[in-house]
Structure 1
Amino acid sequence: MSAQTELPQAETTGSCCSPSGSCHSDAGQAPQGGVTTVYEVTGMTCGHCEGAVSEEISELAGVSSVKAVASTGRVTVVSEAPLDEAAVRAAVDEAGYELVGVQA
């Protein structure tokens, strides 16, 4: 199984936390192997939000890549094995957002 993933983006000047858009792009994507799970997260509005969620989930054991998309509320995670949903929920909560579902 493969998924498209996003590499961390370089810092930008100013804040991207505005309704006008995101400071992250889809550049730097590459396929990865492993288990792919798509989570639904509420509260993300911009690239900064995407980065905060991605950073927290990336710290979970076995995670090889994370791509959060604020406009859809979807967070795609590639991991060595299925992740414990409670651990993912705690990571999203730590970032300041809410995990509301897992897509099949």
Structure 2
Amino acid sequence: MAALTKEMVPMVVGGGASARVESDMPAKFKAGDTVLVRNINPPTHTRMPRYIRGKTGKVEHDHGVFIYPDASAHGEEKPQHCYSVRFTAQELWGPEANAKDSLYIDLFDDYIEKA
């Protein structure tokens, strides 16, 4: 896969390009599954926010299969499912956080494991 150049950005953004991959790859997780975000610190590109590492959340939705950006940044193809995962504010920021608040973050298979 070719690298995205500065000249290509307007065309890609304007055209609504998608990283979705047509695949019948089975999902590792389903809505309702409790997952643990892996506490990893890769020396290269990652889209996994540091503040959710080691935290527990609940899968809300499977978006389908997409290009895995961490591998794509290095010219590799490793498509995988991407899930919307809900974290309570208290899980992320402690008991002082509002118990009614939640944060949803899209996470790839390689970022999470069964809790």
Greater relative contact order (Cα < 8 A, sep 6+): 1
Q: Settle same-fold status: TM greater than 0.5.
A: no
Q: Structure 1-normalised TM-score?
A: 0.26
Which is strand-richer, 1 or 2? 1
Q: Structure 2-normalised TM-score?
A: 0.25
